[in-house]
């Protein structure tokens, strides 16, 4: 890990590269979600409202899971839980926080959770790809020709691996959505492919742990298995949806 990269300072305000890329990722994700919503005849304003709630739920979920994963640090320093600006967010937490918001929203407005999840999944993954480019967590020490030099040490460019993997998943989801067979297919494909990617990327990231796998890897095994199982069951037992292209 290196110090957060600051693009510029104005007065007391500093713009971090990570913050900028997350914001750009959110915009790209919003655009992709709008395109998906338009194709399925959803009201754009409702989707915009939902995205805002998801952003709030996602940040809370991301912080909560990060704190739970690092209780050893946060229990003696409970006030530092609020210091989000110092870093420490978990994408898995953001995902569960955002999914909970979508679940509540669809129940309240009597919408299909799976249909909305299909619309939102490509936007989520392209936003993730762009956000990762600005991430400050580099990989393990290596000598590969494409390594990046961080403070004089060559490291795996894990942010690039993550961004490319997420981008490939995005292409896969967009192409698949053109010949989608059932509601939930795109969302489940996202859950399974993201989990597989996340499991493997963890081997290249700096993480000191006494466990065989990191907590994110254990979680990825569970979500990958659940995603693949549901994908298989839905494909086998769900009738082809009318209105799904």
Partner 1 sequence: MRGCCGSGKNNNNDQEKSGAPAPWFLWFTAGLLIIALYYLLNGSI
Contact positions vs partner 1 (CB under 8 A): 2, 5, 17, 129, 133-134, 148-151, 157, 159-160, 163-164, 167-168, 171, 175
DSSP 163-229: HHHHHHHHHHHHHHHTT--STTHHHHHHHHHHHHHHHHHGGGB----SSSS-HHHHHHHHHHHHHHH
Residue among 120 and 133 whose Cβ is closer to partner 1? 133
Alpha-carbon gap, residue 3 to 188, rounded angstroms: 36
Strands 148-150 and 13-16: unpaired
Residue among 100 and 164 whose Cβ is closer to partner 1? 164
Shortest separation between residue 86's beta carbon and partner 1, angstroms: 20
- For residue 76, the number of C-alpha atoms closer than 13 Å in the C-beta half-sphere is 2
Residue among 2 and 140 whose Cβ is closer to partner 1? 2
Shortest separation between residue 191's beta carbon and partner 1, angstroms: 22
Shortest separation between residue 175's beta carbon and partner 1, angstroms: 8
DSSP 58-85: HHHHHHHHHHHHTHHHHTT-GGGGG-GG
Q: Which helix (H) or strand (E) holds 16?
A: strand 13-16
Place of tokens 């953001």: 94
Residue among 159 and 223 whose Cβ is closer to partner 1? 159
Shortest separation between residue 61's beta carbon and partner 1, angstroms: 26
Shortest separation between residue 171's beta carbon and partner 1, angstroms: 5
Residue among 171 and 233 whose Cβ is closer to partner 1? 171
């Amino acid at each position: 890990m290196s110090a957060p990269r600051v693009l510029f300072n104005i007065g007391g305000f500093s713009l971090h590269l990570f913050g900028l890329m997350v914001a750009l990722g959110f915009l790209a994700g919003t655009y992709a979600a709008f395109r998906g919503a338009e194709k399925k005849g959803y009201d754009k304003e409702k989707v915009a409202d939902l995205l805002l709630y998801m952003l709030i739920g996602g940040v809370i979920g991301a912080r909560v899971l990060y704190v739970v994963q690092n209780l050893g640090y946060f229990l003696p320093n409970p006030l530092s839980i609020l210091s989000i600006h110092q870093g420490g967010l978990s994408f898995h937490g953001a995902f569960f926080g955002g999914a909970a918001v979508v679940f509540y929203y669809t129940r309240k407005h009597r919408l299909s959770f799976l249909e909305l999840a299909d619309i939102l999944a490509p936007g989520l993954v392209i936003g993730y790809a762009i956000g990762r480019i600005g991430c400050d967590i580099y990989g393990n020490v290596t000598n590969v020709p494409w390594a990046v030099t961080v403070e004089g040490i060559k490291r795996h460019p894990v942010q690039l691996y993550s961004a490319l993997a997420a981008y490939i998943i995005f292409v896969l989801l967009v192409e698949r959505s053109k010949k989608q067979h059932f509601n939930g297919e795109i969302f489940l494909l996202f859950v399974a492919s993201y989990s597989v990617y996340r499991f493997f990327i963890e081997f290249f990231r700096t993480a000191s742990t006494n466990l065989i796998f990191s907590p994110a890897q254990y979680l990825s095994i569970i979500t990958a298995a659940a995603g693949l199982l549901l994908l298989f069951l839905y494909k086998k037992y769900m009738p082809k949806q009318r209105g799904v292209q």
